[in-house]
Amino acid sequence: MEIKQSEFTISAVKPDQYPIDQRLEIAFVGRSNVGKSSLINTLTNRRKLVKVSGTPGKTRLINFFLINNEFYFVDLPGYGYAKVSKSEKAGWGKMMEQYLINRPQLKKVMLLVDSRHKPTGDDVLMYNWIKHYGYGVVIVATKKDKLTKNELQRSAKVIRETLSLDKSEQILFFSSLKKEGKEELLQEIFKDISMEENLEDNTEV
């Protein structure tokens, strides 16, 4: 799949603000400083499609981006930022749960983890949450360019053990800086997903 067109569509905090045109959705989630915005920009060949903030935890909305006029990339709020208040964390949890519950358009979730560090408790919770709601999940280890080949092997072992991944679940290493892993990730994103699943009514939001 080649991404030729991408555009911001809408930001949402509750279900009645989500797109209603029934296009399929692929969501991206991870810690606040994991490089999620840069990854989406790299995949779409757009340097500024998703604003890259210098302040971790700034994104509080669910952002929908229309890709090739066929489906959506969904940028979910980053989690795990220490300076976020308890009430904000609670609000984030509710917003995320509302999105994950009964969202038939959502076909797959890309869970981003930092390849340089052991997945956090929040990462484990997010992984289990995605699996609990029955969505396909792809583990993407970002910032690949920061590690040597041996360090990448150790990182894969730590990630696999910490998240208790099945043998069938692979880890894709990615570098937004060097655009390494881009083609492999795009292939995995659209694996087993047919755009023909989109319903006929693809009315613009």
- pLDDT (tens digit per residue) in 58-95: 457 899 999 999 999 999 988 876 566 677 667 777 88
pLDDT of residue 32 exceeding 90, the answer is: no
In this predicted model, which residue has the larger pLDDT, 103 or 102?
A: 103
What is the bridge-based pairing of β-strands 62-67 and 6-12? antiparallel
Sign, Cα dihedral of 122, 124, 127, 133: negative
Residues 156-171 have pLDDT tens digits of 999 999 999 988 899 9
Annotate 82-139 with DSSP letters as a single string: TTS-HHHHHHHHHHHHHHHTT-TTEEEEEEEEETTSPPPHHHHHHHHHHHHTT-EEEE
**C-alpha–C-alpha distance, residues 6 and 44, integer Å:** 7
Structural element, H or E, at residue 191 = none
pTM, full prediction: 0.88
Q: What domains lie within the chain, and their CATH numbers?
A: 6-188 (3.40.50.300)
Is 57 in a helix, a strand, or coil? coil
Is 145 in a helix, a strand, or coil? helix
Sign, Cα dihedral of 89, 95, 98, 104: negative
Residues 1-18 have pLDDT tens digits of 789 999 999 999 899 999
In this predicted model, which residue has the larger pLDDT, 110 or 200?
A: 110
Q: What is the pLDDT of residue 78?
A: 86
| 165-168 contacts at long range (C-beta below 8 A, 24 or more positions apart) | 165/139
Residues 47-64 have pLDDT tens digits of 788 876 544 444 578 999
For tokens 């229309």, what's the residue?
A: 66
Q: What is the pLDDT of residue 200?
A: 46
